[in-house]
């Protein structure tokens, strides 16, 4: 087994995380505010948020939908949100019958309504099933929002608002995605008047 300087590794990882956090703070204030605005408007109009992504992004989708439907900081009225990554019967049927690329688009077409917010999560911005779902969202007059990283990939010009974490490191991008997602939950609670603003 190779030797590793754990102190150096520990410090380097946290140093990079802090740098990406600082860059995210500088770059994403406006698109974050827009995401909060369109999400709050959708919920006020009786709509919902649809979250989806692959792998770790699937876990983020599930995490964020749960924070909204159950609670984030304190007990309050539920906020309507669905993760399109959790229904194993739908996922396996779509994958088997229509193909993996249609995994989320099919669910957006079935469950989405005009004015809802479709939130795709893709660290590369190149996940075909995320891109097709956001195309379906646009066609159906949902708001096609997304979290990404690097150069934003094919999400640029497709998703708006689009939050591109300024990093090419997948781990750092994922860390910022869950941070931004949880910030979305907290901001929505306040924007909707469900918790007191400090």
Kindly list the domain boundaries of the chain, sorted by start residue. Answer: 28-191
How many Å apart are CA 61 and CA 50, to the nearest integer?
A: 8
E-strand ranges in 22-89 read 49-53, 81-83
Mean pLDDT of the chain: 97
Q: Is the pLDDT of residue 140 over 90?
A: yes
Give residue 3's pLDDT. Answer: 87
Count of CB atoms situated within 10 Å of the CB of 3: 5
pLDDT grade, residue 197 (50/70/90)? confident
Give residue 78's pLDDT. Answer: 97
74-80 average pLDDT score: 95
pLDDT grade, residue 1 (50/70/90)? low
How many Å apart are CA 187 and CA 20, to the nearest integer?
A: 21
Q: Is the pLDDT of residue 2 over 90?
A: no
Pick the CATH number of 28-191 from 3.40.50.10490, 3.90.79.10, 3.40.50.300, 3.40.50.2300: 3.40.50.10490
Q: Is the pLDDT of residue 173 over 90?
A: yes
Cα Dmax for the chain: 58
Burial of 8 (0-12, 13-18, 19+ CB in 10 A): exposed
Can you tell me whether residue 39 is helix, strand or coil?
helix
Q: How far is CA 198 from CA 35, 68, 194, in A?
A: 21, 20, 13
Q: Is the pLDDT of residue 118 over 90?
A: yes
Give residue 196's pLDDT. Answer: 80
Give the tokens for residue 50. 């649809």
Q: Is the pLDDT of residue 96 over 80?
A: yes
89-104 average pLDDT score: 98
């Amino acid at each position: 087994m190779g030797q590793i300087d754990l102190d150096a590794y520990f410090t380097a990882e946290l140093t990079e995380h802090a740098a990406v956090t600082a860059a995210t703070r500088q770059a994403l204030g406006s698109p974050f505010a827009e995401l909060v605005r369109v999400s709050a408007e959708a919920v006020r109009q009786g709509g919902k948020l649809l979250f989806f992504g692959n792998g770790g992004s699937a876990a983020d989708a599930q995490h964020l939908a749960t924070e909204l439907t159950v609670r984030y900081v304190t007990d309050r009225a539920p906020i309507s949100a669905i993760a399109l990554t959790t229904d194993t019967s739908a996922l396996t049927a779509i994958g088997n019958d229509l193909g993996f690329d249609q995994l989320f688009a099919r669910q957006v077409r079935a469950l989405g309504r005009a004015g809802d917010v479709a939130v795709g999560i893709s660290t590369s911005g190149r996940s075909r099933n995320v891109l097709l779902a956001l195309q379906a969202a646009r066609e159906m007059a949902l708001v096609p929002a997304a979290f990404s990283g690097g150069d934003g990939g094919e999400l640029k010009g497709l998703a708006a608002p689009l939050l591109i974490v300024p990093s090419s490191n997948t781990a750092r991008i994922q860390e910022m995605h869950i941070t931004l997602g949880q910030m979305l939950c907290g901001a929505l609670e306040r924007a909707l008047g469900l918790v007191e603003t400090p």
